[in-house]
Copies of this chain bind each other. A is one copy, B any other.
Amino acid sequence: MPAAAGPEIERLVQLLARLPGLGPRSARRAVLHLIKKREQLMAPLATALDDALAKVSVCRICGNIDSVNPCSVCADPRRDPSLLVVVEDVADLWALERASVIQARYHVLGGTLSPLDGVGPDDLNLAGLVGRVTGSDVREVILALDATVDGQTTAHYVTDLLRPTGVKVSRLAHGVPVGGELDYLDEGTLAQALRARTPA
């Protein structure tokens, strides 16, 4: 920590160093940058943080984060009420929204099942999911989960969990990423892409 600076700066460095992607060194660089750009960046950032603290909350329906509650996605009447996309966390929801490939609503699990990390079914928002599907307009639940062991374990679990409700459950396709080069792909992806080949 910069012993040459005051306690206010040390505190700021320590807090910024706790952000993902930043360590002590990059946090110090960030603080110096903030102080250099006092009016253009540091003051607006302080205001933006205060604003977000005052207004942002977790949507009580889907688990998204927004300054309105229910969130703007849940409140959007143009979205297909029969489609529900299940995601691990809010970052995935945002990624799908940026791609703007589907006009559906979402359900944020808040994680994936991970026995090794001690994450069990009770740690995820699964009861909320069953509640939203049961006796509702939802006709299809799309599991948009990571193609990792934990993601796929969770997908299996959710599929079993939703079976009694009779809702259709689907998953994202596996295959070659758009722009992907074959010789950089792992064998699992190549095998899946071959098996699920489509007419040209």
Query: Which chain A residues have a beta carbon within 8 Å of chain B's beta carbons?
Result: 1-9, 11-12, 15-16, 18-22, 26, 28-35, 37-38, 41-46, 48-53, 55-56, 64-68, 71-73, 89-91, 93-94, 97-98, 100
Contact = CB atoms under 8 A, between A and B. Distances in A.
Given A20-B29, A43-B53, A73 B4 contact: yes
Sorted nearest first, the 4 A-B pairs with minimum C-beta distance are A6-B67, A46-B49, A4-B97, A2-B94
Contacts of A15: 41, 44-45, 48
Contact of A29 (B5, B21, B45, B73): B21
Nearest to A40: B18
Given A21-B30, A32-B65, A51 B8 contact: yes
Given A20-B30, A30-B20, A94 B4 contact: yes
B97 A64 contact: no
Name A's interface SS.
Answer: helix
A46 B56 contact: no
27 contacts: A1-B98, A3-B97, A4-B64, A4-B97, A5-B72, A6-B67, A6-B68, A8-B48, A8-B51, A11-B48, A12-B48, A12-B51, A15-B41, A16-B45, A18-B37, A20-B26, A20-B30, A22-B22, A29-B91, A32-B89, A32-B90, A34-B52, A35-B65, A38-B53, A42-B49, A42-B52, A45-B49
B98 A2 contact: yes
B41 A6 contact: no
A127 to B, nearest CB: 20
Contact of A20 (B9, B33, B44, B45): B33
| Among A1, A21, A55: residue with most chain B CB under 10 A | A21
